Copies of this chain bind each other. A is one copy, B any other.
Amino acid sequence: MALVKPHGKKKKLMPLLLSGAALAKELKKAKTLKQLKISSRETSDLVMMGIGAFTPLTGFMGKKDWKGVCGKYKMADGTFWPIPITLSCDPAFGNSLKKNEEITLVDEESGEIMATMKVTEKYLMSKADKEFECKNVFRTLDMAEHPGVKKVMGQPEMNLAGPVKVVSEAHYPTQFKELYMTPAQTRKMFEEKGWSKIAAFQTRNPMHRSHEFLAKIAIETMDGCFIHQILGKLKEGDIPADVRAKAINTLMDKYFVKDSALQAGYPMEMRYAGPREALLHALFRQNFGCSHLIVGRDHAGVGDYYGPFDAQKIFDEIPAGSLETQPLKIDHTFYCFKCDGMASMRTCPHQKEDRLMLSGTKLRKMLSEGENVPDHFSRPEVLEILKAYYAGLTTKVEIKLHSHAEGTHTQK
């Protein structure tokens, strides 16, 4: 059995990252071009294009692609795509550009040159356009509470489109040495193991028993599970990637059969677009070589914007054949005392009081206050790592408060 083919008509990976002489030449040229500072989301999307994770994109989307993707999940050439990948700029900058002018894209945080881009199209994004995008992609216009809507509505009023040449992978390969892998690398790894039926497990959190259970259901019935964590920016309060990776490594070491699950990370930022983002998660997992994406309860959601299983249902709503990679849909999972083990709403017939359920908020409170988390919720080895992390946070906060009270040090 072979791996799933990369997304798009050509069915092959299209990484846009230059190397060798081409890279040196492009970098030299980049220094001579007009520069546009881009957001961390745009930077991370460039890295996704660079490594071929966003195959078959050749650059940021033009107006027709943007509109088709928002309205009908389709780019102008008919390729399935669920969330627009766009680049915004101040109209003053855009208007200063000649037709087909090449520009340099610079990460606004690090100041690093990320790519060059031939601007083949510029289009204004009115408030109505942004609202059209948000309504379709996020299903809400709530700027105050939805982090994805806030970002889109806060973008400048013009989008630039055109092919890009990526010249950097930003901080990802160095900061996440152990985790960062390209689609070409994961495909090679899967092939070497003889895997073809692979379920990707998307995560932006450490894994507790319920997550372990999802991964293990996949392992019972497939070649293996690919635990794939997001390395891009998260919302406040989320556990940082290095702590998460340490917790997951420990879990895999103590509770998984060697080589039944593999861990890696990818350089993207969460949009918190729930169902639409689940589709994007499946799409780029296809590029990474995974035949399935585990889709549990409230996948890629935030707040109460999406029904708990909207991200499963959407796979039945898109045209058949849109993606080779399929969802592995699993219901809400938990430990049940009467079942005497892990179960889901599909397999446990018992009552609420028989089940151990903790909200993320409750768990964070317990961990940060050093309270004992109830048995069966998480592996003790994982909790130890998280407790240490929260203890560190608390210490920092206490020091800060202390300094403040004495008025002797500057707060940072």
Contact = CB atoms under 8 A, between A and B. Distances in A.
Interface of A: 216-217, 219-221, 254-258, 260, 328-331, 338-349, 376
B255 A346 contact: no
A321 to B, nearest CB: 14
Contact of A349 (B255, B328, B331): B255
A220 B347 contact: yes
28 contacts: A216-B343, A216-B347, A217-B217, A217-B220, A217-B221, A220-B331, A220-B344, A220-B347, A221-B221, A221-B328, A221-B330, A254-B349, A255-B338, A255-B349, A256-B347, A256-B349, A257-B345, A257-B346, A257-B347, A257-B348, A257-B349, A258-B349, A260-B346, A260-B347, A340-B341, A340-B376, A341-B341, A341-B342
Interface centre among A217, A221, A348 (most CB of B within 10 A): A221
Contacts of A376: 340
The 7 closest A-B pairs by CB, nearest first: A341-B341, A216-B347, A257-B349, A217-B220, A219-B347, A341-B342, A219-B346
Instruction: Name the residue among A219, A328, A330 with the largest chain B CB count within 10 angstroms.
Output: A219
Nearest to A261: B347
Identify the interface centre among A220, A257, A330: most chain B CB within 10 Å of its CB: A220
Contacts of A340: 341, 376
Contacts of A219: 346-347
Nearest to A224: B346
Contacts of A345: 257
Contacts of A344: 220
A256 B343 CA distance: 10
A223 to B, nearest CB: 10
A335 to B, nearest CB: 8
A330 B218 CA distance: 11
A271 to B, nearest CB: 27
A330 B220 contact: yes
A338 B257 CA distance: 13
Given A216-B347, A260-B347, A347-B216, A255 B221 contact: no
A287 to B, nearest CB: 24
Given A217-B221, A221-B221, A256-B349, 18 more contacts: A216-B347, A217-B217, A219-B346, A219-B347, A220-B344, A220-B347, A221-B328, A221-B329, A255-B338, A255-B349, A256-B347, A257-B346, A257-B347, A257-B349, A258-B349, A260-B346, A260-B347, A341-B342
Name the residue in A258, A338, A348 with the highest tally of chain B Cβ atoms < 10 Å from its Cβ: A348
A339 B342 CA distance: 10
Contact of A255 (B216, B257, B339, B342): B339
A23 to B, nearest CB: 43
Nearest to A199: B221
Contacts of A255: 338-339, 349
A258 B345 CA distance: 11
- For A217, A256, A348, A349, which residue has the most chain B Cβ atoms within 10 angstroms? A349
Nearest to A252: B349
A255 to B, nearest CB: 7
A227 to B, nearest CB: 14
A31 to B, nearest CB: 52
Nearest to A347: B216
A331 to B, nearest CB: 7
A221 B347 CA distance: 11
A125 to B, nearest CB: 40
A97 B346 CA distance: 58
A232 to B, nearest CB: 30
